[in-house]
Amino acid sequence: MDYKNFTIEDFLADEFFQQWVLAPDNKTDTFWKSWIQENPDKRIVIQQAVRIACHIDFSEKWTDQERFQMWETIKQELIPAVETEELPFIARRKIWLAAASLVFILASAGILLTKFRMSEKQTSFGQISKITLADGSVITLNANSKLRYARDFLSKNREIWIDGEAYFEVSKRVVNGKKQPFTVHANHLSIQVLGTAFNVNNRRGRVNVTLEHGQVKVVDQHNNANNVLLRPGEAVAHSEKKPHLHKEKVAVEDYSSWKNRVIVFRKKSLKEIAEMMEDLYDMKVIIDNAALGAETFTGSFPTDSSEVLFEKLEKMYPLQVSQVGNEYHLK
Amino acid sequence: MRAFLPVVDEAKIWRRLLKGDQQALAFFYEKYADVLLKYGLSVNYNREMVQDAVQELFVHIWNRRQNLTVPESVKYYLMVSLRRIILKEVRNSLLSTDAFSDDSFSYRCHEKHFAEEIEEDVHRNLQQAVRSLPTRQQEVIFLRFFEKLSYEEIASVTGLDYQILRNTIYRAIKTLRQVLLEKMPYISLISIISSLI
């Protein structure tokens, strides 16, 4: 092979060259080293080719959680299916009759029941609670937030309505060989999920969706064309003022840190922080000095001790916090 | 097969699996789950789908162990089987109207934000570039540059003709380099400097 006119691409695509870079042996090593000596002008080309070859890497790994869950799923299916006992014909007939009449009764009562078919979970100020749904999905509900879902939410499409903030870890579910969708509704956004972890914040007419892993599709129910597909590490916000769904990269951990009982602020204005304290703890934070409202704050505090936040604020800014009843004044 | 020389006696563990030892199955799962992810993503960049396929693969092996023999290389066997499952799944999803299938093909790994050295930049840019190649090219690049399979072995895994395989690799390399040059036009300068030092 005449390598004299080889470009970087040519070298990289040459099996003998690849062999030297990837798993050198005596034969390839001797050949290439002497070839480079004879062709010093090709040294840089070779160097670049080697460099590219060395950097071709595949770094994807399962997270510990994925690894564990997958093995759990596998184990479940390893257990041989227990044979169901065949019922005699007459018994089966009776069951059918019973089932048919039950359906009839339910159908007639259906309209009345609609109101009561929804489950509701609500948290008070300062409270975080974990809810495990029938499909194994885990929802962590932040303070002052409300979830609603149909009692039989497994039977049709899995749908959930959220006011406030929640972190979703959605389990995959297959029904009749098809993946069952999971949809979260926040205001008039719908978030379509396959099996994933993400944070939804729906407060003050503003919805923010942040994706940790998996894939979700966020759709404006008033305008289906206004939709966006989120990839891990991305977030999308929606409000009356900014209705167009435009995603951006964010530090996802900051958005969902509250579920680990830490609240992280990154360049948040005091005004935003004040709103958040009110949403989560029903604390009225009043900024008496208007100039402070625009100051930004970066830091964190534990969710069960909001005093830490005030302490930090006092250290960082020339301000003083005074408490009057349920009101905190920043001066 | 050279590239698959196992350090431990995998055949022995595999035989335990065939006899119904679930721990043996767990051993192969632990050992190869990540490689199967990397390879699976090269066949079809859809993490969900790869996850399902890996699960299906191990369940399948266990439930049909009575019909299985000891493979020459467990890793090779797992990879080829995974590939079959994924391609079957891809065909199925093309038939059904899955709202996610279109997007999943253009999916790229997400960037990390941290202060990076140039080498890390090259690394990251290349990884992204590889993941945006057509899947066939990703697969051969994975098998050649990560798994270090010979052209002959790759041809037997993918069923590609030797000449087509060579062209596929060449095309992939060309794209990779082009992407790298576009993203880091200064890269050639850097290697010139570093070669002078």
CA nearest B34 in A: which residue?
A61
| Domain endpoint, select from B77, B103, B129 | B103
Specify the pLDDT at position B140: 93
CA nearest A54 in B: which residue?
B145
State the CATH number of the domain containing residue B15: 1.10.1740.10
Q: Which of A44, A71, A80 sits opposite B191 (nearest CB)?
A: A44
Residues B125 and B80 in one domain: no
Specify the pLDDT at position B26: 92
Q: Is B2 a member of any domain? A: no
Query: Please, what is the angle between helix B47-63 and helix B22-43, to 10°?
Result: 150
Which chain A residues in 2-21 lie under 8 Å from chain B, judged by CB atoms? Answer: 8-9, 12-13, 15, 18
Interface confidence (ipTM) of the complex: 0.72
Could you tell me where in chain A the CATH 2.60.120.1440 domains are found?
A: 115-255
Specify the pLDDT at position A86: 38
CA nearest A71 in B: which residue?
B55
- Token pair for B175: 């794209």
The torsion angle over the Cα atoms of residues B57, B58, B64 and B66, rounded to 10 degrees, is 140
Is the Cβ pair B33, A62 closer than 8 Å? yes
Q: Is B109 a member of any domain? A: no
| Domain endpoint, select from B103, B136, B155 | B103
Q: What is the distance between the alpha carbons of residues A302 and A257, in angstroms, rounded to a whole number?
A: 10
pLDDT range class, residue B116, cuts 50, 70, 90: very low
Could you tell me where in chain A the CATH 3.55.50.30 domains are found?
A: 261-330
Q: Is B176 a member of any domain? A: yes
- Chain B: closest CA distance from residue A283 (Å): 35
Does the CB of A55 have a partner CB in chain B at under 8 Å? yes
Tens of each residue's pLDDT in chain A, 331 residues? 789 899 888 999 999 999 898 888 889 989 998 998 899 888 888 888 888 888 888 888 998 888 988 998 888 888 553 333 334 444 555 555 566 566 655 555 554 445 456 778 888 887 888 888 888 888 988 888 998 888 777 777 788 999 999 999 888 777 776 778 888 998 888 888 866 788 889 888 889 899 888 888 898 888 888 888 888 888 998 888 888 888 888 888 788 888 878 888 777 888 888 888 888 888 888 888 777 777 787 777 777 777 777 887 787 777 788 888 778 888 8
pTM, 2 dp: 0.47
Residues B122 and B176 in one domain: yes
| Domain endpoint, select from B84, B103, B122 | B103
Residues B83 and B127 in one domain: no
Preferred mutation among A14, A21, A48, A58 to probe B, highest tally of B CBs within 10 A: A58
Specify the pLDDT at position B107: 26
Specify the pLDDT at position B85: 93
Is the Cβ pair B48, A60 closer than 8 Å? no
Residues B14 and B76 in one domain: yes
Range of the domain at B11: 7-103
Q: Is B77 a member of any domain? A: yes
Q: What is the distance between the alpha carbons of residues A321 and A323, in angstroms, rounded to a whole number?
A: 7
CATH 3.40.50.300, applies to A115-255: no
State the CATH number of the domain containing residue B138: 1.10.10.10
Q: Is B139 a member of any domain? A: yes
Residues B96 and B132 in one domain: no
Specify the pLDDT at position A23: 84
Residues B118 and B96 in one domain: no
Q: Is B1 a member of any domain? A: no
Which has more pLDDT, B191 or B140?
B140
Which has more pLDDT, A80 or B143?
B143
Residues B180 and B98 in one domain: no
Is the Cβ pair A9, B166 closer than 8 Å? no
Q: Is B67 a member of any domain? A: yes
Number of domains in chain B: 2
Which CATH number applies to A261-330? 3.55.50.30
